[in-house]
Structure 1
Amino acid sequence: MYRRRFLRRAGAAGGAAATVGIAGCAGVGGEPDRDVGMLAAAYQPRQVTVSVGDTVTWENTSARAHTVTATAGGIPDAAEFFASGGFDDYATAKAAWDADFGGILESSDRFEHTFTVPGAYEYVCIPHREGGMFGTVVVEE
């Protein structure tokens, strides 16, 4: 009955039950429908630059579970917060992840966000934040 939840948790924890993916983001420049891939513990590329109105697409290209979550205070003042799972702020996204893997992106899952305000946007993978999995979207006019 709870098989999927167990498998999600085992994969998210990166334990023995999880297979650590080493596939890179072959698509940055080679696959136009994905801008950022997710390796086992890194976004690839770590930084992308787009124009106002552009949509960035992240794809989990590894076997580990990830999130895409804007950091508290890491986006321009007038910008819309973004997070896989559709949360309104970082604290809510973190609480949802801690409670039941809210915002999870499993292997091959995608998340996209359209950027309407220029500036630098910092984001993290909640389960791999301590390991340094963070990225930046720079939005230019």
Structure 2
Amino acid sequence: MTGLLATAGCLSSDSTNQSLGMQREKTTATETSPTSPNSLDEWLSDANGYDGEPRRFGPDSRPTISVGAGTDGLAFDPPVIEIAPGTNVVWEWTGHGGQQNVVALDGTFDSGRTNAQPGTCYQYVFSEPGEHAFVSEPHRDDGMKGAVIVAEPPSTGYAAVDEWLAGAGNFDGTVVDRTDRETATVTVGSEGNGGAFAFSPPALKISAGSTVRWEWTGEGGGHNVVFDGHDINSGGVTPDAGTTFEHTFETTGQYLYSCLPHRALGMKGAVIVE
């Protein structure tokens, strides 16, 4: 089967099945096939809806990219994602912006002929690390661009922490060591995950008996601090700058937490107690 499927299911392709691209219909008689950019940053400099920060997804996730987002329907949302090898990415048509398709500039994937029916979708499994710029051919000159960055997730050496923080956009594998201090501070509402939706630092290591203090910036709307599997939380959501929450960790272990309203965006943190 070729072309795009409607709400009954998603069309798929992989590196061994590129028949979809053979069925692609050009939007104009003079249009040529897209070619890979020399620089991904340069390519994305005028991508509609891109703020310079890729949206990161952890292993075992199934990211969905809207095709035809924005006020004029000429954007992908999110336009740039970072995923782990083996991730299945789905593009779903909104029906806005007219005829659309999804074509990788390096030829890795191709959704086939253009389509404007909402609910249609296309999916592709990325098995190897790499950077893949893509475009909707009818609107590539209008800035309807995107990219999939395939990379191994950052690693701290703590498996539970790495899995928990894999989707946090500001996590790079660094663990801030505060084992030589009685207190440590985490900022709530730092820049990350597409706005002020991050804890900073996301991964913190302290000694047993030390206290962690969370301090609100007042940015990004209402936040809270809620630990997974432990009765430790800051209470209700608050947007107020200067709000603080403290907890003293007496027992060694790995403590994982999130801001519940923005957990899906990747607003997560971890405290490693040794």
TM-score by length of 1: 0.56
RMSD: 2.3
Residues 184 and 212 in structure 2, CA contact (< 8 A), matched pair in contact too: yes
Deviations 1:13-65 (A, max 9, x none): xxxxxxxxxxxxxxx99xx9761002110000001111111000000123222
- The structure, 1 or 2, with the larger RCO (C-alpha pairs under 8 Å, 6+ apart) is 1
Unaligned runs of 5+ in 1: 1-27, 76-80, 86-101
Match of 1:45 in 2: 201
> How much has 1:71 moved relative to structure 2?
1.2
Matches within 5 A, 1:40-119: 40-63=196-219, 64-72=221-229, 81-85=231-235, 102-104=236-238, 106-119=240-253
Is the 2:222–2:237 contact (alpha carbons within 8 Å) kept by the matching residues of 1?
no
Structure 1 segments of 4+ aligned residues over 2 angstroms from their partners:
102-106
Sort the Cα spacing of 1:61 and 1:42 in 2 relative to 1 into closer, same or farther, 3 A.
same
Shift of 1:103: 4.4
Greater strand fraction, Structure 1 or Structure 2 = 2
Number of equivalent positions: 88
Partners of 2:237 and 2:226 lie apart in 1 by 9
Higher helix share: 1
Partner of 1:137: 271
Q: How high is the sequence identity, in percent, across the aligned residues?
A: 40
Are the equivalent residues in 2 in contact too, given 1:84–1:111 (CA < 8 A)?
A: yes
Query: Whole-Å Cα distance in 2 between the matches of residues 117 and 61 of structure 1?
Result: 29
| Structure 2: 5+ residue stretches without partners | 1-175, 191-195
